[in-house]
């Protein structure tokens, strides 16, 4: 077939980093916290999840990470169905590709920055090596280079409890990057930072996303959505009531969605 004829067949679109169809979840039977959520997040994109407190944002991230089971619907990561017991093996295999940054970052405050960052490689080196502190030199070099790229190489040997909020956020990103993720789930990632540090962090996130890593970020910071997001999803009472391009999303959009 000629080159011209071949180019008539476009490349198939890559599978979404995350895709949910009809996802529902409840803590108490009969009282769903997430209802019928359809979602698709493209590789290399930043999807901001907004919604009032208690609407189900954290629950959605936890279900995607596999920390909570979904009770109905389907969940696929990188085109592979992973939810449900029959998919336990494919979930484990994909687990490495999904980094999780919880709301309070989940760093070990009494350990050094470097050790926290190296803990991101657990799936790569095994728990035993990490317990005896026997991380290969190549990983230590990689961790230091990652810290360098985030501007906190000088803090590598300091304990996390002595760091500022913005520095801890960088450590959490560095730990996530050491996992070599293709999807990062970040819960209220910038909620405790001043406006300048918030923008520094999201600039970093944007740079990482442009390398092909997808981000799902829950937030209450409406003004950041248009600036940093590619897509925005709005959840209310456990239902997705809006999804669209982030660049047109404003505070007025929220007021409309909230019926005010």
Ligand X SMILES: Nc1ncnc2c1ncn2[C@@H]1O[C@H](COP(=O)(O)OP(=O)(O)OP(=O)(O)O)[C@@H](O)[C@H]1O
**Residues near ligand X, by CB under 6 A:** 27, 33, 51, 53-59
Tell me how far, at minimum, the Cβ of 24 lies from Mg ion, in Å.
18
Selection from ligand X, Mg ion, none that 59 binds (CB < 5 to 8 A by kind) is ligand X
Which stretches of the chain bind Mg ion, using CB under 5 A?
A: 57-58
Selection from ligand X, Mg ion, none that 27 binds (CB < 5 to 8 A by kind) is ligand X
Tell me how far, at minimum, the Cβ of 40 lies from ligand X, in Å.
20
Tell me how far, at minimum, the Cβ of 54 lies from ligand X, in Å.
4
Of 115 and 188, which has the nearer Cβ to Mg ion?
188
Please, which residues have CB within 8 angstroms of residue 129's CB and are 6 or more apart in sequence? 135, 136
Selection from Mg ion, ligand X, none that 33 binds (CB < 5 to 8 A by kind) is ligand X
Q: Which two tokens stand for residue 148?
A: 């360098």
> Which of 203, 110, 196, 95 minimizes the C-alpha distance to 158?
110
Rounded CA-CA distance 111/232 in Å is 36
Selection from Mg ion, ligand X, none that 102 binds (CB < 5 to 8 A by kind) is none
Tell me how far, at minimum, the Cβ of 60 lies from ligand X, in Å.
7
Of 60 and 147, which has the nearer Cβ to Mg ion?
60
Tell me how far, at minimum, the Cβ of 58 lies from Mg ion, in Å.
3
Give the three-class secondary structure for 18: strand
Selection from Mg ion, ligand X, none that 73 binds (CB < 5 to 8 A by kind) is none
Q: Which two tokens stand for residue 238?
A: 């456990």
Rounded CA-CA distance 166/168 in Å is 5
Q: Is the dihedral angle over the CA atoms 114, 116, 120, 121 positive or is it negative?
A: positive
In contact, 229 and 48? CB cutoff 8 Å:
yes
How many residues comprise the chain? 260
């Amino acid at each position: 077939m000629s080159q011209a004829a071949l180019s008539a067949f476009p490349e198939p679109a890559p599978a979404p980093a995350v895709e949910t169809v009809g996802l529902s979840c409840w803590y108490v039977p009969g009282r769903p916290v997430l209802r019928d959520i359809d979602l698709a997040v493209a590789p290399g994109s930043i999807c901001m999840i907004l919604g009032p407190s208690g609407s189900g944002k954290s629950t959605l991230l936890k279900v995607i990470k596999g920390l909570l089971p979904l009770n109905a619907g389907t969940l696929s990561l990188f085109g592979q169905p992973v939810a449900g017991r029959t998919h336990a093996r494919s979930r484990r295999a994909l687990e490495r590709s999904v980094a999780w940054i919880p709301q309070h970052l989940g760093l070990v405050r009494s350990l050094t920055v470097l050790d926290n960052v190296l803990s991101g490689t657990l799936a790569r080196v095994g728990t035993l090596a990490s317990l005896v502190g026997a991380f290969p030199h190549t990983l230590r070099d990689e961790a230091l280079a990652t810290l360098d790229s985030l501007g906190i190489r000088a803090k590598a040997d300091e304990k996390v409890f002595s760091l500022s909020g913005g520095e801890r956020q960088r450590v959490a990103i560095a730990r996530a990057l050491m996992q070599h993720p293709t999807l990062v789930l970040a819960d209220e990632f910038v909620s405790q930072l001043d406006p300048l540090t918030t923008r520094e962090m999201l600039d970093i996130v944007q740079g990482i996303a442009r390398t092909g890593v997808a981000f799902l970020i829950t937030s209450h910071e409406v003004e950041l959505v248009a600036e940093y997001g590619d897509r925005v999803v709005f959840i209310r009472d456990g239902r997705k009531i809006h999804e669209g391009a982030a660049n047109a999303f404003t505070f007025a959009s929220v007021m409309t969605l909230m019926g005010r």
